[in-house]
Structure 1
Amino acid sequence: MKNKYVFTGGLLLLYNFFWAQEKLIDTVRIVDKHLRDAEKTQKVITVSASDFQKNPTNLSEVLRFQTPFYIKENGRGMTSSPSFRGSTAQQTAFVWNGININSIFLGQGDINNLGLLNFDEMSVKPGGGSILYGSGAIGGSVHLNNHLTYDRAFSGNFFGEYASYNTVNSALKLAYSDEKLSVKLNASFADSQNDYEVKPKRYKHWNAQYNAKQFGLDVGYRLNDDNEIRWHSLLSNGDQHFPVFSENSNRTKYITNGFKSLLNWNFHKSEFSNQLSFAYVEDAYDYYADADGARSNGATGKTFVVKNDFTLINPEIFDISLITEYQHNSAEGYGSGIINPKRNWGNAALVLKRDFLEKFYLEAAVRKNFIENIKSPLLFSLGAKAEFSPVYTLKLNLSKNFRFPSFNDLYWEPGGNLDLKPETSYNAELNNTFNFGKLKIEVVPYYTHLHDMIQWKPVSSEVWSPVNVGNVASYGAEAYLNYQQKTGNHHISGNATYTFTRSENLDTHKSLTYVPVHRATAGIGWKHKVVDAFLQGMFTGKTFTTTDEVNFLKSSLVANAGVGATFGKHWHIGLRVNNVFDEVYQTNEYYFLPLRNYAVNLNYKF
């Protein structure tokens, strides 16, 4: 399988050496213009590559400690799924350089197999986003982006870390650019025995080793002042064992391979712009019921995307964008009951945006999906921003969103249900932003009403099947705090989040599982000349694990700390202590996360 991806990547490299993005500028960010504008009516949290290095173990750790996401994880580095604003994992969209990459089988992002250190930036957008990012963008979306720069000659960065449990994390980025051409190579490697113990609970993390490799190539070429061609690719391989509860238990594992390729041509004039995109995403998995035996089941999924985004720019009235997209999804299964399903679907969206004297902003959008054998609703969104004073800004966002059934929901045998309806939701949020110089505070109450939620339920002692189970209401509020202070050679930064969430099945009036009512994170960083340090904490309140609200995970408070020093112009050495206070905690009822553990890292820039 691996050779197949390498061969495919080589062919696509020769064929797709053309790419495009934004205007002719020396520094180009691969962030779609609509995500940039979304911050005007919704909260967008940005995590830089340097912030990744505070939690470099995996993407789950970054989301858990640096965003309001609740991450349910089957032990460190294992199968992981997100929940935000009371949503399920399938209701969070993962977006790679503007393209939705949720699995066509599970309908969710495979978090710990997506990699982390290959990306240059991550943005998290809470709230509905189906107008732009399609199926699954109900609770929120996670955007994994790569940057390219021009006219910067040669540069590079190496990050290497050795940590507890024989864990190695490393990443290498090499970049070259002149006025016309920009090329970036990035590669990452992670490996761990992951054999930790939680002695107070007599818990041993058996058979939990993992190995992950990613390789990416990004190329940009400026044809002239108005045209840029851009190509992104990412090749990945993961070998993840599933933890068992005793040394003599049967050991299983899961191998994944993936290839993503994205081609953009962006044309930009003062009066209009157009971005044409072609994407190919291939993901394959093999499951081994005996880790040393032959594969038991598996599947390969393929997605081909053609997307066009045309914008007519008129600052006197509205900027008008017409976004059209076509997708072809196909799969080939082995031993899973999924034989050879296919799906063709497309959509068209109309988006209107207008800035009024930079103090008021208004946007409105509608989208219609055309999905083979599935009836899809008309979607809409409405956003507004009003800056009443330098201190206070009000943002409003209303939207209707959806998620259509995944291939597993429809075709898994036994149990698939071809009569499933898409999940639909109505989302509303009101962002109150207060700026007091170096201190920024945001308070965001929200409400989501979900119809026709898809849930797998037992139909016999051995067979489960997905059904539409009714309505769910999720409501609550988020608070964000950011502080920056620079005095002389001292630079202090701080941030904190707090979320109150209630997600309730309206038929039973009980909470959904794995939705903590109270959750908070905080981080503070300090830098003085060549020395730096950080401290971060995470509080998670009582979390129900059963639908009758009887069983639950106890609340926990976990803290991490790190210190580092810079030597010369190129070298940085750091030491990190995770779970400083040796807290016993878990995010899944059956699996504990590690007690106090350590890591040392080296960062070299050239």
Structure 2
Amino acid sequence: MRYFVFILMPVLLTAGNLLQVRDLLTMRPLPDVRVISGRDTLVSDDNGIVNLGGKSTVTWPLLLQKKGYFPARLTRPLRRPIVTYLMPQLTTEEITVVGSRPARQPLSLPANFSFIDVRQRASGLESAAELLARQEGLIIKSYGGSGQLNTISVRGMSAEQTQVSFDGVPVNNLQLGSVDLGKYDSFGLAGISVYRGGNALFGGNGSIGGVVSIIPDSIRDRLFVHAGGAVGSYGNRSYRFRLDFPAGRLQNSLQVFGADAVNDYPATKQARDGRLRNRDFSRRRFAYRNRLLLGHGWQAQTGWYAFKHAGGSPSPFTDAAGEAQNRARLDRDESLVTVKLLRSFAAGRFKLHLFQRNEWMEYRDPALLINYRPLHSTHFNRQQGAIASVFYQPASAVQLRAGLEGYREKIRSSEAGNHARSHEAFFTVADWRVFDRPDDFVSALHLNASLRAVRYSGSTVQWLPAAGFSLQCKAGRFYGAIGKNYRAPGFNDLYWVPGGNPDLKPEYADHAEIGHGFTRAFSFLLVNGNGAFYYNRVRDLIKWQPDGSLWRPVNIGAVESKGVELRVALSDLRDRFRLRFNYTYGQSQKSEPEFPGDRTVGNQLPYLPRETLHFSARVRLAGWRLGFQLSRESFRYLTIANDERQVLPGFTVMSLNVRRNFRFGMMLLRTGFSVSNLLDVRYQTIPGYPMPPRMFAFTIDVSNEQNNHK
């Protein structure tokens, strides 16, 4: 019978007076939405659909309400089928929607923004790096299999020029400036948001390429238990456990995660074969969070996160003999403590966020002798910070956000010495809805503006303005933005011994972007997409280069990054299938000479492919969930000289996964099987660090989850 209803879906939607409600960020149907029409209250089904009955019985406007989402008003009927959206109260530090908003209107950010709904796709073996690798405009540089270093490039910018935050806290390493995204497993996350472009409107200093926000899952207000595990090829295995429990007004969440792997897969270089060694790792993560409802709109939240990693830190693969000497080891121990105080009121919200994070790292290489002793280096970093912000909606058409930030950073390193610095920032963001006329061809216009002022100890104040617009019309949404940003040198750039340069200047960047996004409902299909053109120019780029027998960081000329990003997604209104395609063409080039007669001006930067393509398909059939992914990346130059004899070849990889859920009373059992690198392609993203061949994985999870569709 359910298949018969599915076949009749186009007829039912066009013949009836039906409304479907979807999540604005993920585009997924929302069940259990209360739709209030006059004195009548209706509730959406599992597919987010509400039958409004005859047109004469509908009282406009409709009020849409769902726990965890901002309420919205639907002011008048639209052409059928009616598809509308609710904004989740899941917010990031970069942008927050406060209060009600027009339910028809898409997100008015003047940027190519995307949100990865981790709760719908986590397998237990996927890391944040693997999920981000399938997004347009993003490149993951991976040093091998699971547990190995994974850094990100957004729109051709370096990992140091991309800001990453976790639970609202910036987590870029104080010495290196980058983040290992491979250490963030998908378990316990709600989602990952990506703001592309070096616009201080969305991120702080250092976000020249963009901002990646990793968002923990919200604490359940009822007893919730989840346990699971996974096993895979080459010794990959993981376990996970979560317990959410209320204690009066105090809501608690406890999470434990562990993962191990050997990663001893075969590799080949110039017809020389060998099996990889020293790629093993052991990782443990613990998290405890709570939320205390204080009344009168106040609540307090605390979080404690601990992360431990021990494993190999391999050199590039050469052959079997070289692997026998590959014995360097790396241990990491990190912690993060956060305290938040929030106050919600009718027109906005106040938040005070305090945190402290510690990073400890120990590196040992018995094969590398320094002063006749094996290398043994230790590094300890500490950052303390406070962020106070207020969101205020003085009128229905105006939203304001302003705040203050203060940070204190210290390092104690065997190679970079003991140093400390502080920096402060003030920021303000304004969004003005100039008009909202749903029936006109041009239906809405938003203007955005921001200003960020940043000062590091010992330097002058940096002023970072930005502005943008978002124009909604029948053809979709047109947007554009311009802005400035900058990045201060990292501790290693300034103080590493030997080679550090304390006279380095910050990097300065100008950014511009224009784009078009659309969402259309055709009978039983929903289509949405986005296209963007971007331009980034970075001056005083910090680059390590030879200086006699040493390497030393210096400020060089400029780098330009420009390109096109395309994304299209297609699904049916009951979410029985979903197709997604994205494509990126980007040029990241040296734009100024370093010396007279420099022939590398205009050349592509190393390790960055010009083209990437990703396709994914997901089908729900008779209780089964089938998924397919394909990724294609073009070749990469190994040097700035762009010698065609020194390249990493392009590659195409595919993967498959199958999932099945079983319901036993209050218990939900979820099983999954996946095959990655389906065609067993041998490829690399960093020379000397082969990616895994074909791998298999099996996952199993059991919980008292009420929603069977997760």
| TM-score (norm: length of structure 1) | 0.90
Match of 1:18 in 2: none
**Higher mean C-alpha deviation, range 196-205 or range 415-424:** 196-205
Contact 2:325/2:367 (CA < 8 Å) preserved in 1?
no
CA distance in 2, matches of 1:326, 1:431: 34
- Is 2:633 aligned against 1:540? yes
Contact 1:118/1:188 (CA < 8 Å) preserved in 2?
no
Letter in 2 for 1:276: L
Q: Percent identity?
A: 21
Contact 2:542/2:556 (CA < 8 Å) preserved in 1?
yes
Match of 1:326 in 2: 406
Please identify the structure whose Cα radius of gyration is greater.
2
Contact 1:72/1:80 (CA < 8 Å) preserved in 2?
yes
CA distance in 1, matches of 2:225, 2:375: 39
CA distance in 2, matches of 1:54, 1:501: 31
Change (3 A) 1:457 1:91: same
CA distance in 1, matches of 2:387, 2:144: 38
Contact 1:153/1:178 (CA < 8 Å) preserved in 2?
no
Change (3 A) 1:446 1:309: same
- Is 2:573 aligned against 1:573? no
Change (3 A) 1:517 1:238: same
Letter in 2 for 1:521: H
Letter in 2 for 1:127: G
CA distance in 1, matches of 2:286, 2:400: 37
CA distance in 2, matches of 1:393, 1:494: 21
Per-residue deviation, 1:521:
0.9
Match of 1:382 in 2: 467
Match of 2:430 in 1: 352
**Higher mean C-alpha deviation, range 410-419 or range 267-276:** 267-276
Tell me how many residue pairs correspond in the alignment.
577
Letter in 2 for 1:537: L
- Is 2:484 aligned against 1:397? no
Contact 1:444/1:477 (CA < 8 Å) preserved in 2?
yes
Match of 2:536 in 1: 448
Equivalent of residue 211 in structure 1, options 267, 275, 282: 282
Structure showing greater relative contact order (alpha-carbon pairs closer than 8 Å, 6 or more residues apart): 1
CA distance in 2, matches of 1:26, 1:272: 16
Alignment of 1:439-588 (within 5 A): 439-461=527-549, 463-486=550-573, 491-507=576-592, 508-550=601-643, 551-569=646-664, 570-588=668-686
CA distance in 1, matches of 2:207, 2:166: 14
Per-residue deviation, 1:584:
1.6
CA distance in 2, matches of 1:186, 1:145: 15
Contact 2:313/2:330 (CA < 8 Å) preserved in 1?
yes
CA distance in 2, matches of 1:348, 1:587: 39
Match of 2:167 in 1: 97
Equivalent of residue 452 in structure 2, options 367, 379, 385: 367
CA distance in 1, matches of 2:542, 2:632: 30
Change (3 A) 1:181 1:294: farther
Equivalent of residue 73 in structure 1, options 142, 155, 159: 142
Letter in 1 for 2:556: V
Per-residue deviation, 1:204:
2.8
The secondary structure found in structure 1 opposite 2:417 is coil
* 1:483-529 deviation line (CA, Å, top 9, x unaligned): 22156xx7101212100000110122111111111001111111124
Equivalent of residue 355 in structure 2, options 253, 257, 279: 279
Letter in 2 for 1:476: G
* 1:129-148 deviation line (CA, Å, top 9, x unaligned): 43553232111111111132
Contact 1:431/1:443 (CA < 8 Å) preserved in 2?
yes
Match of 2:345 in 1: 269
CA distance in 2, matches of 1:355, 1:187: 44
The secondary structure found in structure 2 opposite 1:138 is coil
Per-residue deviation, 1:179:
7.6
CA distance in 1, matches of 2:197, 2:250: 37
Where structure 2 has 5 or more consecutive residues not aligned to the other structure, the ranges are 1-64, 70-87, 98-106, 437-443, 593-600, 705-710
Change (3 A) 1:116 1:295: farther
Match of 1:3 in 2: none
Instruction: Report runs of 4+ in structure 1 exceeding 6 Å deviation.
Output: 291-295
Letter in 1 for 2:410: S
Letter in 2 for 1:166: G
Alignment of 1:96-495 (within 5 A): 96-149=166-219, 152-177=221-246, 180-198=249-267, 202-244=273-315, 245=317, 246-290=322-366, 296-315=376-395, 318-334=398-414, 336=415, 338-358=416-436, 359-389=444-474, 391-437=475-521, 438-461=526-549, 463-486=550-573, 491-495=576-580
Change (3 A) 1:51 1:288: farther
CA distance in 2, matches of 1:32, 1:225: 23
Task: Report the RMSD for the aligned CA atoms in angstroms.
Answer: 2.4
The secondary structure found in structure 2 opposite 1:340 is strand
Change (3 A) 1:530 1:206: same
Change (3 A) 1:401 1:415: same
Where structure 1 has 5 or more consecutive residues not aligned to the other structure, the ranges are 1-22
Change (3 A) 1:235 1:538: same
